[in-house]
């Protein structure tokens, strides 16, 4: 059974009115004819003067009616063309937005492939240090491997200063002290953090090697959040393209950078998109960071304070 809404959509559209314009004109003409003929006594052929009056009647009313109907059709056509132009413009904006996003995605992938990291490794079977060069995703993997429990024994960060109070880093309280300290060694540099009361500054090796990658990810997420002409579902689909191209190691290091003061906006936009959903599940030392990156009320409030409101159509 058709509802009133269905009938309105069927008969209320401009296209439907244009299709029915000839029928409307014929009905109007028949109505005028009926209004004139009904009052006239039958048979008409005995009253020849009635036909002359009828001609005057039709000429005086039907012609203006047709002109008015033509005007209505012209206005309807204009409105229809305006609507089509608006839809074309929206489609163009959406297409341009998507093309720009994929260009950013391609540039990001080129940045990842261009990463180079030189690391010192102490081998148990020989003395001295061995230089190793890692490129692309392998550079992310070696850093995460070093931060992970399995390969922690050979890591000796270069401590350059002591007794700096922590102020600019937050992490879930369930993260182990050892993991907190390891991250401090890799990332903090001259900034400070809230991990422990005795955290010391170290060379900012992670930022120097991967900072441009982190900024690229942030810009892509920011673009997806603020780009015009997209629905929430379309924005999420674009972000999922980025997620699909990132390795687990890239997610881990980006999460670490998002929890620093300079990465607050990265954390905010990541929360809005639930960027780390179902990620970092295998690393026990990394998974507690999800408490600060998931879509809880507190985290969404933090995101809004940093310029990224919850996604809405």
Tens of pLDDT along 196-254? Answer: 333 333 334 566 678 889 999 999 999 999 988 888 999 999 999 999 999 999 998 88
- Residue 272 has a pLDDT of 94
Q: At what angle do helices 248-258 and 137-147 cross, to 10 degrees?
A: 70
In this structure, the answer to whether residues 258 and 187 fall within a common structural domain is yes
In this structure, the answer to whether residues 191 and 303 fall within a common structural domain is yes
- Residue 222 has a pLDDT of 94
- Residue 1 covered by a domain: no
Q: Helices in the chain by DSSP H: which ranges?
A: 4-11, 14-37, 48-113, 137-147, 177-183, 205-226, 232-245, 248-258, 264-273, 297-305
Question: How far apart (Å, rounded) are the C-alpha atoms in residues 17 and 22?
Answer: 10
- Residue 106 covered by a domain: no
Q: Is 273 left (phi over 0), alpha (psi -120 to 50) or beta?
A: alpha
- Residue 167 has a pLDDT of 38
Question: How far apart (Å, rounded) are the C-alpha atoms in residues 4 and 216?
Answer: 51
Angle, CA of 228, 232 and 237, to the nearest 5°: 95
- Residue 224 has a pLDDT of 93
Of all residues in the chain, the percent with pLDDT exceeding 70 is 56
In this structure, the answer to whether residues 227 and 297 fall within a common structural domain is yes
Q: Are 142 and 123 in contact (CB under 8 A)?
A: no
Domain range enclosing 166: 114-313
Quick check: 170 pLDDT over 50?
A: no
- Residue 79 has a pLDDT of 83
In this structure, the answer to whether residues 139 and 228 fall within a common structural domain is yes
In this structure, the answer to whether residues 155 and 72 fall within a common structural domain is no
Quick check: 192 pLDDT over 50?
A: no
Q: Give the pLDDT confidence of 266-282 residue by residue, as tens digits.
A: 999 999 999 999 888 77
Of all residues in the chain, the percent with pLDDT exceeding 90 is 20
- Residue 285 has a pLDDT of 66
- Residue 145 covered by a domain: yes
């Amino acid at each position: 059974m058709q509802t009133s809404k269905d009938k309105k959509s069927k008969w209320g559209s401009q296209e439907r009115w244009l299709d029915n314009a000839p029928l409307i004109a014929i009905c109007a003409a028949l109505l005028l004819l009926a209004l004139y003929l009904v009052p006239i006594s039958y048979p008409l052929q005995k009253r020849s003067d009635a036909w002359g009056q009828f001609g005057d009647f039709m000429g005086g009313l039907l012609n203006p009616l047709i002109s008015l109907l033509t005007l209505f059709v012209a206005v309807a056509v204009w409105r229809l063309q305006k609507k089509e132009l608006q839809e074309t413009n929206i489609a163009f904006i959406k297409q341009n937005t998507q093309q720009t996003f994929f260009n950013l995605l391609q540039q990001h992938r080129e940045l990842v492939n261009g990463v180079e990291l030189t690391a010192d490794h102490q081998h148990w079977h020989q003395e001295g240090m061995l230089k190793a060069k890692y490129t692309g995703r392998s550079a992310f993997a070696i850093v995460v491997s070093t931060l992970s429990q399995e390969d922690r024994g050979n890591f000796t960060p270069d401590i350059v200063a002591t007794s700096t109070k922590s102020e600019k880093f937050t992490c879930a309280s369930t993260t182990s002290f050892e993991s907190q300290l390891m991250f401090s060694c890799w990332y903090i540099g001259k900034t400070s953090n809230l991990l422990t009361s005795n955290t010391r500054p170290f060379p900012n090796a992670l930022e120097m090697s991967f900072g441009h990658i982190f900024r690229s990810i942030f810009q892509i997420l920011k673009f997806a959040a603020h780009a015009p002409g997209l629905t929430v579902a379309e924005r999420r689909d674009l972000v999922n393209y980025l997620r699909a191209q990132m390795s687990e190691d890239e997610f881990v290091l980006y999460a670490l950078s998002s929890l620093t003061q300079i990465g607050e906006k990265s954390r905010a936009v990541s929360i809005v998109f639930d960027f780390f959903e179902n990620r970092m599940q295998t690393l026990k030392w990394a998974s507690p960071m999800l408490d600060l990156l998931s879509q809880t009320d507190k985290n969404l409030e933090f995101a809004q304070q940093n310029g990224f409101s919850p996604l809405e159509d």
